[in-house]
Chain A
Amino acid sequence: MRAHIVTTVLRREWSETVRNRLLMSTILIPPMVLAIGPLALAGVVGERALPDALVTQVVAQRPDWANFTASELAGAFAVQQFLVFFLLMPAYIPLSIATFSIIGEKQARTLEPVLATPIRTAELLAGKSIAALVPGVLAGWVTYVVFVSLASIVYGPALFGVVTDASWLVGVFILGPTVGLSSVVAGVIVSSRVNDPRVAQQVGGIIIVPIIALTLLQSTATLLVGAAGYLLMAVFVFIASLVGLRAGVALFDREAILTRWR
């Protein structure tokens, strides 16, 4: 694989992405909301105490929170819910970019001239995938850094410790990119079969279902995932992504694009 070709594809992808206002709004607005939302919610919820039964359930799963005051525990429980939202960015942003990019090229019929050059399909796929993956992952990371910076000002040391503990670091910096990868794979597979980016995003949106399920489990304190849990999920998502990538590469084959993509 030739790096300069991948870079060329990457530059063109990004130069088109920044000209797409709809796409840019879906990339930029949610991170801003996510950076501020948890802070506001934790502030409100932190004023109240959790019901006793919930306290028992939460502390059983997170013994490291046992020494928190009632308000700290309520704030920690509330803010912990938002970790999964930081996984949504690497999930939906790459999906949006990949589907817009691939289906956009299908609709404009721009792929054939590109495939008529000496480019290898792996290079084209790599360029497109990286172009889709990086903004989503970076958005997740940057939002987290902004969130943590604000948290260091707004929260007390207990809550600041919660949002910078191992579960958050593994979730944001390891599980996030793997979720992003799975999102790109879903985008490639779905985009090869449909001709409308919105349909592709709806179909590809299935990738978000496990994240929503995780949110529900955490919000009821049925399951509060720790660092080991997020790491395990990252390994599982990564393996699933590699399996999906094989299918994606087959669908992204030069002949398949020219003769089967409709």
Chain B
Amino acid sequence: MTVPDPVMIRATGLGRRFDALWAVRDMDLEVFRGEVLGLLGPNGAGKTTTVRLLTALIAPSEGRATVDGLDVTEYPELVRSRVGILTETPGLYDKLSATANLDFFGRLYGLDASTRAARIEHFLRLFSLWERRNDVAGTFSKGMKQKLAIARALLHEPAVVFLDEPTAALDPEAAFVVREAIETLRRSGRTIVLATHNLDEADRLCDRVAFVRGGLVRVDSPAGLRGSLGGHGVEVGLTGVPSPAVLEAARVVPGVADVEIAGDRLIVMTAEPRVVTPGLVRALVEAGAAITEVRERATTLEQVYFEVMGVRPDHDEAA
């Protein structure tokens, strides 16, 4: 029995040019089976182009990519039959019912009648749309449309699913519903590529995150990315502005890398907050500090994003 290649998607020197403008260039990327990979980047960074290249919707200008071992340029139809895609907009036929929408796509994927019927029922039930199966898609809420579009992407049991901005333009409630749907997919062990600029979403759902800006800038796990930016720290709330004695007491605690004052708070930088915190609290109390709160301070993916992408939140990212 042959062991399947653990790499589901492999891009090597992948690039795509539109006239003189390179949307994506020199992209080397591997996505492993069962992994959820986030593609993060600002608008115009090449996320959608990357998704289109990897789903054989457009051809690369340079380099190559394989999906489930199939070259996207040599076997575009086979690649498209192995991937499911949720496009930026749901792209449903509003005048057709939920069932008719899915049935149309099931036919395009070559599913026979009984398989289509079974899978349509399965996915409509999975995404709580079964009761509305005969209603036309035009009457659905944005969240329901997005779920129906995800069901459409899964209908042919694809080896890998691409979700392009799945919660963009959704209200918080609808976004929650869609994230739950993605979580369901994640638990089923499906390979997912999630293009988003929602950092919190990427942090919560992705095993690894790839920062993209005209090419691959960096890829790592969310924890790895946070760790690379100086790791964690401890934030200590006090009743007033800390005295020099309190500041000095914190600095000499073993394991503390640096200490900063932010109003009535002490920001203590350390690689091992859980190890350092007991000794730190003891030292601060002995120095006369009146502590109101102690909490672990983790670097957010947002901070990592701004650092890696070389932009600041108060600057125009599209520059």
Asked whether, in the complex, the Cβ of A110 is within 8 Å of the Cβ of B77, the reply is no
Interface string of B60-93 (1 = CB under 8 A from A): 0000000000000000011011010101110111
Asked whether, in the complex, the Cβ of B80 is within 8 Å of the Cβ of A113, the reply is no
Residues A212-262 near B (CB distance < 8 A): 254-255, 258-259
Asked whether, in the complex, the Cβ of A108 is within 8 Å of the Cβ of B52, the reply is no
Task: Decide: A118 near B110, CB < 8 A? Known: A16-B96, A255-B59.
Answer: yes
Bound-state Cα–Cα, A117 to B153, Å? 9
Task: Decide: A118 near B93, CB < 8 A? Known: A113-B85, A113-B152, A254-B57.
Answer: no
Bound-state Cα–Cα, A113 to B151, Å? 12
Size of the chain A interface, CB-CB below 8 angstroms: 25
Size of the chain B interface, CB-CB below 8 angstroms: 31
Task: Decide: A112 near B95, CB < 8 A? Known: A117-B108, A118-B77.
Answer: no
Asked whether, in the complex, the Cβ of A118 is within 8 Å of the Cβ of B109, the reply is yes
Task: Decide: A118 near B81, CB < 8 A? Known: A12-B96, A112-B91.
Answer: yes
For A29, the chain B residues whose CB sits under 8 A away are none
Bound-state Cα–Cα, A91 to B78, Å? 38
Asked whether, in the complex, the Cβ of B87 is within 8 Å of the Cβ of A113, the reply is yes
Bound-state Cα–Cα, A169 to B18, Å? 51
B104 within 8 A of A: yes
Residues of A contacting B: mostly = helix
For B93, the chain A residues whose CB sits under 8 A away are 12, 16, 108, 110
Residues A105-148 near B (CB distance < 8 A): 108-120
Asked whether, in the complex, the Cβ of A113 is within 8 Å of the Cβ of B107, the reply is no
Asked whether, in the complex, the Cβ of B87 is within 8 Å of the Cβ of A255, the reply is no
Asked whether, in the complex, the Cβ of A109 is within 8 Å of the Cβ of B87, the reply is yes
Asked whether, in the complex, the Cβ of A258 is within 8 Å of the Cβ of B52, the reply is yes
Asked whether, in the complex, the Cβ of B57 is within 8 Å of the Cβ of A115, the reply is yes
Asked whether, in the complex, the Cβ of B108 is within 8 Å of the Cβ of A114, the reply is yes
For B100, the chain A residues whose CB sits under 8 A away are 12, 15
Asked whether, in the complex, the Cβ of B96 is within 8 Å of the Cβ of A15, the reply is yes
Can you name the residue of chain A whose Cβ is closest to the Cβ of B18? A259
B94 within 8 A of A: yes
For A112, the chain B residues whose CB sits under 8 A away are 57, 85, 87, 91
Asked whether, in the complex, the Cβ of A8 is within 8 Å of the Cβ of B104, the reply is yes
Bound-state Cα–Cα, A139 to B100, Å? 27
B146 within 8 A of A: no
Asked whether, in the complex, the Cβ of B87 is within 8 Å of the Cβ of A118, the reply is no
| Of listed B18, B91, B100, residue having the most chain A CB within 10 A | B91
Task: Decide: A113 near B105, CB < 8 A? Known: A118-B80, A258-B58.
Answer: yes
> Nearest-CB distance from A105 to chain B (Å)?
9
Asked whether, in the complex, the Cβ of A109 is within 8 Å of the Cβ of B57, the reply is no
A59 within 8 A of B: no
For B85, the chain A residues whose CB sits under 8 A away are 112-113, 116
Q: Which 4 A-B pairs have the closest CB atoms?
A: A117-B108, A8-B107, A110-B91, A118-B77
| 20 more A-B residue pairs beyond the given contacts A12-B104, A113-B87, A254-B58, with a C-beta to C-beta distance below 8 A | A12-B100, A15-B96, A15-B100, A16-B93, A20-B95, A108-B93, A108-B94, A109-B89, A112-B57, A112-B87, A112-B91, A113-B153, A114-B108, A116-B55, A117-B105, A117-B108, A118-B81, A118-B110, A119-B108, A120-B77
